[in-house]
């Protein structure tokens, strides 16, 4: 029996995954990852890296981050504390949903996660103070292959739910898209 409910999004390959906790009077147990259960949702990679982040201030935006091929990565992103507005942007060259985005609230309470395949940029906005996120990556971080987009790029028109409270200096310097950007080629 799978401990996950998987729902497709309007962007092909991008899935939302809800953990199904087992609860009793002591609390709950939630399976964070199971390769066999997530393979039908598209997760076919090994886990190469796991990251845990904490965002102190409500309204802060992190991202939009991606890795260029051949270091492109899939991510399974979960919120362990608080709540975030999680966003993925399709950057795949030739995709019918190129430059479209999808957002969903992920929280410690709702147990939703985002399964993001290679070729997408990812970011989130903290909806509460002291949010903690857990990222499972299919490839290790490759600094020479990192990329980023301006989270406030008018071409993307992402509907962030709160006024922007802050970004890192690196994220604030990510460029807006130009007409010359035709997408990421498959790795």
Residue 31 has pLDDT above 90, yes or no: no
Give the DSSP letter string of 107-152: ETTT-EEEEE-TTEEEEEEESSSSEEEEEEESS---GGGEEE--TT
Contacts 24+ apart (CB under 8 A), 173-182: 174/64, 174/148, 174/149, 174/150, 175/149, 175/150, 176/149, 176/150, 177/99, 177/149, 177/150, 177/153, 182/93
Residue 59 has pLDDT above 80, yes or no: yes
The pLDDT of residue 1 is 62
Averaged over 132-159, what is the pLDDT?
96
The pLDDT of residue 125 is 98
Show which residues are catalytic: 65, 135
Give the domains, in start order, of the chain with CATH numbers.
4-172 (2.60.120.10)
Least confident of 23-32, 42-51, 121-130, 134-143: 23-32
The pLDDT of residue 186 is 75
pLDDT band, very low/low/confident/very high, at 185 (cuts 50, 70, 90): confident
Torsion of CA 101, 82, 53, 20, to 10 degrees: -80
The pLDDT of residue 117 is 96
State the average pLDDT for the chain: 94
Averaged over 97-108, what is the pLDDT?
97
Averaged over 121-149, what is the pLDDT?
97
The pLDDT of residue 187 is 59
* 99 DSSP assignment: T
């Amino acid at each position: 029996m799978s401990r996950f409910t998987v729902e497709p999004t309007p962007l092909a390959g991008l899935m939302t995954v809800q953990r199904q906790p087992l609860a009793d009077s002591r609390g709950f147990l939630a399976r964070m990852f199971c390769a066999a259960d997530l393979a039908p949702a598209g997760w076919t990679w090994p886990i190469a890296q796991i990251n845990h982040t904490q965002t102190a201030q409500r309204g802060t935006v992190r991202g939009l981050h991606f890795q260029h091929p051949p270091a492109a990565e899939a991510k399974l992103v979960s919120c362990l504390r608080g709540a975030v507005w999680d966003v993925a942007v399709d950057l795949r060259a030739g995709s019918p949903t190129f430059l479209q985005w999808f957002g969903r609230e992920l929280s410690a309470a709702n147990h939703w996660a985002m399964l993001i395949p290679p070729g997408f940029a990812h970011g989130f906005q903290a909806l509460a103070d002291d949010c903690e996120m857990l990222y499972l990556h299919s490839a290790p971080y490759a600094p020479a292959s990192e990329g980023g987009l301006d989270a406030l790029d008018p071409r993307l028109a992402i509907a962030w739910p709160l006024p922007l409270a802050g970004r890192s200096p690196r994220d604030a310097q990510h460029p807006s898209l130009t007409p010359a950007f035709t997408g990421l080629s498959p790795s």
